[in-house]
Amino acid sequence: MAKWFDRYYGPDLVVGGPESAQRTLEEKLGIPAGQGMRMTIHGVGLTVAYLAVNVDESLSSSCIQLMGIKPLARDEPQSELGRDVRNILLAYITAQRMDRPIVTHVQALSAPTEDDIGAITEMLKSRGVPHLCRMKNVYIGLVEEDNGRIHYDPSADAGTYLEWAPTVQTDFPGFVLPTYLPENPEVAELAPGSMVGVIARTQIVKSTQAVIDRFQWMLDWPEEGDLEYFEGDGQRSVVIKPSNGLSAVWEFVEPSRPDSRAGQVLERYGEGPWSIRIGVHGLDAKLGDLESRGTRWSEIGEGPKGARRVAVNRWDLRGIPIELEEVPVVYRGISQGRSA
């Protein structure tokens, strides 16, 4: 079940002025204030904040990964690994249109163990899929040229900017370690309007089947039991489920009508990451909170499983696309906290 996909720990976005973007999410959306932002390891010149949407991190195994690019001195990064990682991430970032709703530094899925990363790497090698391995991770679709430059080939992974990494990462300060559901989880008693956790990353595509076919050719994954299919208003979705029940899912959205919301996004921006969806217990109360903050929102129809869903006006969030979905019952997991 779910084979290598343990969790989607941090649907990400790369922004200009990450400190200002974080303050906007605190003030206009209501995420907990004061969560740490720090430079990434190896001096690669990126800042990162792993943003939980509730102070109780036993409610979710996923966060928002907010990143920004910082200028470097002439002699930075000082290590070969740092230079390699910076070039890898810039290869992904610069392959995207900068006007997209979300620009990703990489879409990192977590596998249960480092041995799983090794098995994924061997399968990619055997099938001729371009990739690079650095640190404990494997980055798919990257090609190193003779002159040392690295570029991203979207045909390798259906344009998904895919990385696999171990689910437990202790090398990254502040990294959200996995929260797991016990066998008999308790129901969490939350105030109406509480944001619970990140429940989905959505990705707009021309063909959901083409993406799934490519993944299965690359990695014999996902298996049929890992997938859920949904028909909506002017769109169809395929959801890839992780094994961790408190993790965000990865939802691929294919427009079925050009005049639908999904069709208009595809026409305007092309394929790529679309939004971050947050679960809310007591959506009406949260919408009242947004209005008190001067944050606009609009109904967008039911989510994949029929729950009420709204889109927050992204221009009130410095362009960050956030959806909110009603979560009537919330279970409490066992949190391992964050890496030191």
CA distances from 237 to 18, 152, 280 (A): 31, 26, 21
Distance CA 13, CA 41 (A): 18
Same domain, 203 and 256: yes
User: What does pTM read for this prediction?
Assistant: 0.96
Q: Note the pLDDT of residue 306.
A: 85
Q: Is 290 a domain residue? A: yes
**pLDDT exceeds cutoff 70 at 6:** yes
Same domain, 159 and 21: yes
Rg (CA), the chain: 19
Same domain, 158 and 254: no
Q: Which residue has the tokens 């001195």?
A: 73
Q: Note the pLDDT of residue 138.
A: 97
Please list, in sequence order, all residues whose beta carbon lies within 8 angstroms of the beta carbon of residue 98, skipping any fewer than 6 positions away.
Answer: none
Domain extent, residue 235, equals 186-332
DSSP string, 241-264: PPS-TTSBEEEEEEESSTTSHHHH
Average pLDDT over every residue of 247-275: 97
Q: Note the pLDDT of residue 125.
A: 98
Same domain, 26 and 125: yes
**pLDDT exceeds cutoff 60 at 114:** yes
The tens digit of pLDDT for each residue in 137-185 reads: 999 999 999 998 999 999 999 999 999 999 998 888 888 889 999 999 9
Same domain, 204 and 157: no
Same domain, 160 and 191: no
CB atoms within 10 A of CB 195: 24
Q: Is 174 a domain residue? A: no
End-to-end CA distance of the chain: 31
The tens digit of pLDDT for each residue in 290-313 reads: 999 999 999 998 877 889 999 999
Q: Give the domain CATH number at 210.
A: 3.10.180.10
254 touches 235 (CB < 8 A): yes
Average pLDDT over every residue of 100-125: 96
CB atoms within 10 A of CB 224: 7
Total count of domains within the chain: 2
pLDDT top residue among 232 and 204: 204
Q: Note the pLDDT of residue 228.
A: 97
Same domain, 73 and 158: yes
Please list, in sequence order, all residues whose beta carbon lies within 8 angstroms of the beta carbon of residue 45, skipping any fewer than 6 positions away.
Answer: 39, 69, 70, 71, 72, 76, 77, 86
Q: Note the pLDDT of residue 86.
A: 93
> How much of the chain, in percent, has pLDDT values that exceed 70?
99
**pLDDT exceeds cutoff 80 at 2:** no
